[in-house]
Amino acid sequence: MLARIGVKDIDALFADIPADKLLKAPVDLPRRKGELEVERQLGRLAAKNVPASSVPFFVGAGAYKHHVPATVDHLIQRSEFLTSYTPYQPEIAQGTLQYLFEFQTQVALLTGMEVANASMYDGSTGTGEAVLMAHRITKRRKAVLSGGLHPHYADVVRTLSHMASDSVVSAPASPLADEDLIALIDGETSCVVVQNPDVFGNIRDLRPIAAAAQAKGALLIAVFTEAVSLGLIESPGAMGADIVVGEGQSIGNALNFGGPYVGLFAAKQKYVRQMPGRLCGETVDAEGQRGFVLTLSTREQHIRRDKATSNICTNSGLCCLAFTIHMTLLGEAGLKRLARINHANAVKLADALAGVKGVSILNKAFFNEFTLRVPGKAADVVEKLAGKGVLGGVPYSRLAPEAGLDDLILVASTEVNSDDDRAAFVAALKEVL
């Protein structure tokens, strides 16, 4: 091959690298290993972790342990899905494009919105993008964040806004959902960002906030971190949201220690040209047959460069495929039933924990997650519970140490929890308090 190229050795092809920068010896890292040895080495690391399915597990706060049907993981590993690229050559990517079109339809229906895109990286980055989108639409640059917004999400928005010299007003953390967000909206406000159910698990009525925001020319951005909740509670679209953004991990995707996940992003039709991310649309081919293509790409960075609506170049392809397949298996009936099971399990758990002396449940209304107030430091309680083999939730102080809410544990319960799990949690909590 070198002869055909016309060079004498491989380094002749690297001649543009300054000679003193070309490495003379291999870098200081181990040499190649066989498959067996790599499995052993990574297996040892994996064995040091405690998987959710191995213990009574009640951790949520933005990522949820659900049962994913075996069909989902089989299908997403088909070579033609797994090893394909962004569908820029639509004639040989109709598989990807059709499921994206189905995904967009499912997300639009679920959120009660008119249009949805082909996904963002995750719910948090989607929220940052939604705020920028609201700024473009309203030509204002101030976002108001609810104190019930997941602190990581709020931090992503604040980071982006700080860097872009936009302003952010954050309401204080509100475990009782009793904040007065409407008072924070003024004529400079571009958007109000409200999570529902909020990070403390409270179900919020978005309608008064939507009305108040829209009366002042601002948009309501509704956020959710638990997509299954939308099987049971009113959709953000029906409550007046202008943009809806959420985390889709709950449907079809494993916990994966925080990623990869899939950001869901939906909006009113009139804002579609200000949306970030990829959009898949219907068209016809040269013979008049229906087909699908990526469309409205004049919004995107590869065409518009510094004038694009976002710098995003990827979506979360395989994770939205997992979402689409799981949602197809669930269907309307299955999703609603899954949501009822989640709520029923959380109600049972809340009642069981409420019987433990010294603790209280803060929420009046919740879906599959609620806030438990414990005597003493929540972080210590959670650590002691782990010592008893129960992963009993997230201390709110881990997410937002500056809030001074050191006695709150966010507790989630899904369809994976059994009566035995609940009993183990109650018994362990009694022991550690």
Partner 1 sequence: MLNNQGRPTAAGEATGSAHPTFTGNQALQIEEALLFEIGRADCTGVDLDEPASFTPRLGGLERRGDIGLVGLSEPETMRHFVRLSQKNYGIDTGLFPLGSCTMKHNPRLNEKMARLPGFADIHPLQPQSTVQGALELIDQLAHWLMVLTGTSAVAMSPKAGAHGELAGMMAIKAAIDAKGEGAIRNVVLVPESAHGTNPATAALIGFVVKPVPARADGTVHVEDVQALLGPDVAAIMLTNPNTCGIFEPQIVEIARAMHDAGAYFYCDGANFNAIVGKARPGDLGIDAMHINLHKTFSTPHGGGGPGAGPVVLSDRLARFAPLPFIRRDGSHYALVETADQAGDVQAFGRVTAFHGQMGMYVRALAYMLSHGSDGMKQASEDAVLNANYIRAGLEDLMSLPFPDHPSMHEALFDDSWLKDTGVTTLDFAKAMIDEGYHPMTMYFPLVVHGAMLIEPTESESRASLDLFIMTLRDLALRAKRGETERFSAAPYHAPRRRLDETRAARNPILRWTPPQPIQQAAE
65 interacts with partner 1 by CB under 8 A: yes
The yes or no reply on residue 102 touching partner 1 (CB under 8 A) is yes
Q: Does residue 19 touch partner 1 according to CB under 8 A?
A: no
Residue 162 tokens, joined: 């700080």
**Quick check: 1 binds partner 1 (CB under 8 A)?**
yes
Q: Pull the structure tokens for residue 282.
A: 């219907």
140 contributes a contact to partner 1 by CB under 8 A: no
φ, ψ for residue 49, nearest 5 deg: -105, 160
- Of 131, 341, 372, 429, the one binding partner 1 (CB under 8 A) is 341
Is 50 one of the binding residues for partner 1 (CB under 8 A)? yes
Q: Is the Cβ–Cβ distance between 250 and 226 less than 8 Å?
A: yes
Q: How far is the CB of 78 from partner 1 (least distance, A)?
A: 4
Q: Which of 8, 43, 178, 180 binds partner 1 (CB under 8 A)?
A: 43
Residues 279-318 that bind partner 1 (CB under 8 A): 279-287, 289, 291-293, 295-298, 300-308, 310-318
d(CA 84, CA 62): 29
Please give the Cα distance from 77 to 175 (Å, whole number): 41
The stretch among 186-194, 215-223, 364-372, 420-428 that binds partner 1 (CB under 8 A) is 364-372
- Which of 101-109, 167-175, 181-189, 213-221 is the region at the interface with partner 1 (rule: CB under 8 A)? 101-109
Q: Which two tokens stand for residue 42?
A: 């990574």
Q: What CA–CA distance (Å, rounded) separates 393 from 414?
A: 12
Cβ 231 to partner 1, closest distance in Å?
7
CB 263 within 8 A of CB 122: yes
Which tokens is 393 given? 């939730």
Among 144, 199, 219, 327, which residue interacts with partner 1 (rule: CB under 8 A)? 327
Residue 129 in contact with residue 310, Cβ under 8 Å? Answer: yes
Task: For strands 243-247 and 263-267, give the pairing.
Answer: antiparallel
Does 21 bind partner 1 (CB under 8 A)? Our answer is yes
* Choice between 180 and 402, CB closer to partner 1: 402
Pairing of strands 167-170, 142-145: parallel
CB of 27 to partner 1, least distance (A): 5
Does the footprint of partner 1 cover residue 270 (CB under 8 A)? no
Amino acid at 364: K
